[in-house]
């Protein structure tokens, strides 16, 4: 099994186990909401410092495997829900940074990033749907994480080399890249906030359908970026989604959700291109943006907007994305 396949399979397993732990155990806690906020803060907001640490340590697969180990440890703290949420969130963040770094080192193309990020949504969905099964067979979760960690370590053990290929750590941005990187940051903030844009058109569809649209969209976005170019793929992604959101009907909204999520690997790939000396930090910067976009929901703010307003916000995100990729494109 090559590193991309192993990292993608591990992504599925890690997110499945995290969801199963939450919805099978922690959801019964009176501190459920606190646990959810702390988990997301550790899993997403802390990926920026974790990314810096992984960049400097240069042991990506070991870093990712240690993350799997922390998720397994979180299971044994299920009687202390806040502790379990923090440990599980840190483990999730470490896995994503380590696995993402290894995938990015293996190729400068966007497609591998899209393949790597796509299975997480399916894992989260299945972990939540089958949470009662996992809670009845609690030994499965740490066992899955143990085997996932060993799978990630197998190339390291086979090659006898613990070092990765990160290169010297440098937070120096390419010339005039600060503003494009800031635009990419806010693209992800908006993407995180715009989840409600699809709710009206998906109310009558089984949950697995939007999950597959989301996952397949992320995978397709990377391939589209490589084949069409990042700018053209961005226009297809967010421009197409903005247009289709004007027609909130179930099949149309599914296509819009697919197109919308194509932008994820495009944004990641562009951010990494602007900060090539700290790929893990660039990866983590955008997951910090993802967490920032969740803050309104955590605060109880729910946006209820007409379809035209949702479409306009997606078009605004497209404008930011085109600024973010314009500088990066000249370095391809």
Structure tokens at 80: 């202390």
Q: Looking at domain 178-329, which of 3.40.50.450, 1.20.1250.20, 1.20.1050.10, 2.60.40.420 is its CATH number? A: 1.20.1250.20
Q: Is the pLDDT of residue 1 over 80?
A: no
The Cα 169–Cα 183 span in angstroms is 23
Cβ neighbours for 236, distance < 8 A, ≥ 6 positions apart = 224, 228, 259, 262
CA-closest candidate to residue 117, choices 104, 131, 130: 104
User: CATH 1.20.1250.20 spans which residues of the chain?
Assistant: 178-329
Complete DSSP assignment for 102-164: HHHHH-SSSHHHHHHHTHHHHHHHHHHHTHHHHHHTTTHHHHHHHHHHHHHHHHHHHHT----
The Cα 217–Cα 198 span in angstroms is 14
Cβ neighbours for 151, distance < 8 A, ≥ 6 positions apart = 1, 6, 9, 10
The Cα 73–Cα 211 span in angstroms is 28
Cβ neighbours for 318, distance < 8 A, ≥ 6 positions apart = 234, 235, 238, 239, 242
- List, in sequence order, the alpha helices (H) in 25-110: 32-40, 47-57, 60-76, 81-106
Mean pLDDT over all residues of the chain? 91
Which of 46-60, 127-141, 151-165 has maximum average pLDDT? 46-60
Q: How confident is the model at residue 327 (pLDDT cuts 50, 70, 90)?
A: low
CA-closest candidate to residue 254, choices 220, 304, 294, 208: 208
CA-closest candidate to residue 222, choices 109, 104, 325: 109
Q: Is the pLDDT of residue 121 over 50?
A: yes
The Cα 105–Cα 112 span in angstroms is 10
Give residue 200's pLDDT: 61
Q: Is the pLDDT of residue 316 over 80?
A: yes
Q: How confident is the model at residue 330 (pLDDT cuts 50, 70, 90)?
A: very low
Write the pLDDT tens digit of every residue in 234-274. 999 999 999 999 987 888 989 999 999 999 999 999 999 99
Cβ neighbours for 288, distance < 8 A, ≥ 6 positions apart = 44, 45, 47, 48, 185
Give residue 201's pLDDT: 60
The Cα 148–Cα 64 span in angstroms is 10
């Amino acid at each position: 099994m090559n590193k991309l396949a192993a990292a993608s399979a591990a992504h599925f397993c890690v997110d499945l186990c995290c969801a199963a732990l939450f919805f099978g155990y922690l959801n019964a806690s009176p501190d459920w909401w606190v646990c959810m906020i702390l988990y997301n803060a550790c899993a997403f907001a802390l990926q920026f410092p974790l990314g810096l640490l992984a960049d400097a340590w240069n042991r990506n697969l070991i870093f990712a495997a240690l993350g799997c180990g922390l998720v397994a440890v979180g299971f044994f703290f299920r009687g202390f829900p806040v502790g379990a949420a923090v440990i599980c969130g840190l483990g999730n963040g470490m896995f994503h940074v380590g696995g993402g770094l290894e995938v990015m080192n293996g190729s400068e193309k966007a497609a591998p990033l899209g393949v790597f990020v796509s299975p997480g949504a399916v894992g989260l969905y299945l972990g939540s749907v089958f949470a009662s099964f996992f809670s009845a067979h609690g030994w499965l979760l740490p066992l899955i994480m143990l085997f996932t960690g060993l799978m990630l370590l197998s190339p390291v053990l086979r090659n006898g080399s613990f070092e990765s290929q990160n290169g010297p750590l440098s937070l120096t941005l390419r010339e005039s890249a600060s503003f494009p990187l800031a635009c990419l940051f806010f693209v992800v903030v908006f993407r995180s906030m715009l989840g409600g844009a699809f709710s009206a058109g998906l109310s009558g569809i089984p949950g697995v359908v939007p999950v597959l649209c989301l996952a397949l969209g992320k995978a397709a976005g990377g391939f589209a970026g490589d084949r069409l170019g990042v700018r053209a793929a961005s226009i297809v992604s967010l421009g197409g989604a903005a247009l289709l959101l004007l027609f909130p009907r179930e099949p149309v909204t599914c296509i819009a959700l697919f197109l919308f999520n194509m932008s994820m690997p495009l944004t990641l790939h562009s951010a990494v291109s602007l900060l090539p000396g700290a790929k893990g930090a660039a990866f983590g910067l955008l997951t910090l943006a993802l967490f920032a976009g969740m803050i309104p929901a955590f605060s109880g703010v729910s946006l209820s907007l007409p379809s035209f307003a949702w479409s306009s916000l997606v078009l605004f995100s497209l404008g930011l994305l085109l600024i973010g990729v314009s500088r990066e494109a000249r370095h391809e």
